[in-house]
C-alpha cells in the first residue's frame, strides 16, 4: 500500500473461525466506518444461513454469492471494513480486487486446532461429510498461498484476545483512517 493511495477498504480474510467478524467489529468502531460481514449480508439477502444455502445450492452456488458480495462491497466508493468469506480467495476476480489500490487486506491465520474448536462451536457454519478437521486442513493447504499473495499484513490469532489483535492491526488502521 503506497502513501499516495490510502486505504478506502480494510478487508479481513482467512478461514472460518479466525475471528474476522469479531476483529471487523472492533476495526469498524475504531475507524468509524461501516462493517460489511459476508455471513450477515448473505443472511439479510437470502433469509438463510450459509449452512442452509450450502445445503440448498451446494458449495459452488454459495461461493459464487460470496464472491459477488465481496466484489460489490469493494466497488462501493465509501470506506468500509469488510469481513470476506474464505472462499472468495479462490476467485481470481476477488484476488485482483483485493490487490487493488485503496484496499488493505489483512490475513488472519490460525492453527488447525484453533479453527476446529471455533468452527464446531458455531451452528450456522456448513457441515462437512469428511469432518471439520479434514475439511479445514484441506482448505488451509489449498488457500494459504493465495491468502499470503494478497495480504498487506498477516496476523497469527492463536491465543490472542480481540484487544491484542486490534493493536496488531494498528499500522493498517492508521493507514486507512
Establish if 176 belongs to a structural domain. no
Query: Residue 167 corresponds to which cell in the numbers above?
Result: 493493536
Q: What is the pLDDT of residue 171?
A: 66
Establish if 2 belongs to a structural domain. no
Establish if 175 belongs to a structural domain. no
Going from the first residue of the chain to its last (177 residues), give the mean pLDDT of each consecutive group of 10, the final group possibly shorter.
Answer: 64 92 93 94 90 86 95 96 96 97 94 80 59 83 95 89 76 64
User: Cα separation of 76 and 139, whole Å?
Assistant: 29
User: Cα separation of 92 and 64, whole Å?
Assistant: 12
Q: What is the pLDDT of residue 129?
A: 58
Read off the pTM: 0.85
Q: What is the pLDDT of residue 4?
A: 40
Q: Taking a C-beta distance cutoff of 8 angstroms, is the pair 26, 97 a contact?
A: no
Domain of residue 116, CATH code:
3.40.50.300
DSSP assignment letter at 125 = S
Q: Taking a C-beta distance cutoff of 8 angstroms, is the pair 59, 142 a contact?
A: no
Q: What is the pLDDT of residue 120?
A: 59
Establish if 105 belongs to a structural domain. yes
Q: What is the pLDDT of residue 36?
A: 97
Residue 71 CA: distances (Å) to CA of 8, 52, 64, 100, 133:
14, 22, 11, 12, 29
In the sheet with 9-13, reading across from the earlier edge strand, the strands are: 35-37, 80-83, 9-13, 103-109, 153-156
The total of structural domains in the chain comes to 1
Amino acid at each position: 500500500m503506497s502513501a499516495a493511495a490510502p486505504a478506502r477498504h480494510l478487508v479481513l480474510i482467512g478461514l472460518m473461525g479466525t475471528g474476522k467478524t469479531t476483529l471487523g467489529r472492533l476495526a469498524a468502531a475504531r475507524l468509524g466506518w461501516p462493517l460489511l460481514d459476508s455471513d450477515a449480508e448473505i443472511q439479510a439477502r437470502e433469509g438463510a444461513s450459509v449452512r442452509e444455502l450450502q445445503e440448498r445450492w451446494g458449495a459452488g452456488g454459495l461461493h459464487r454469492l460470496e464472491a459477488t458480495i465481496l466484489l460489490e462491497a469493494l466497488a462501493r466508493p465509501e470506506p468500509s471494513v469488510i469481513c470476506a468469506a474464505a472462499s472468495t480467495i479462490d476467485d481470481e476476480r476477488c484476488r485482483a480486487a483485493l490487490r487493488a489500490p485503496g484496499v488493505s487486506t489483512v490475513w488472519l491465520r490460525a492453527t488447525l486446532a484453533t479453527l476446529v474448536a471455533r468452527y464446531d462451536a458455531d451452528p450456522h457454519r456448513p457441515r462437512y461429510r469428511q469432518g471439520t478437521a479434514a475439511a479445514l486442513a484441506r482448505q488451509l493447504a489449498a488457500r494459504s498461498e493465495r491468502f499470503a499473495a494478497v495480504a498487506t499484513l498477516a496476523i497469527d490469532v492463536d491465543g490472542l484476545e480481540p484487544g491484542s489483535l486490534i493493536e496488531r492491526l494498528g499500522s493498517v488502521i492508521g493507514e486507512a483512517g
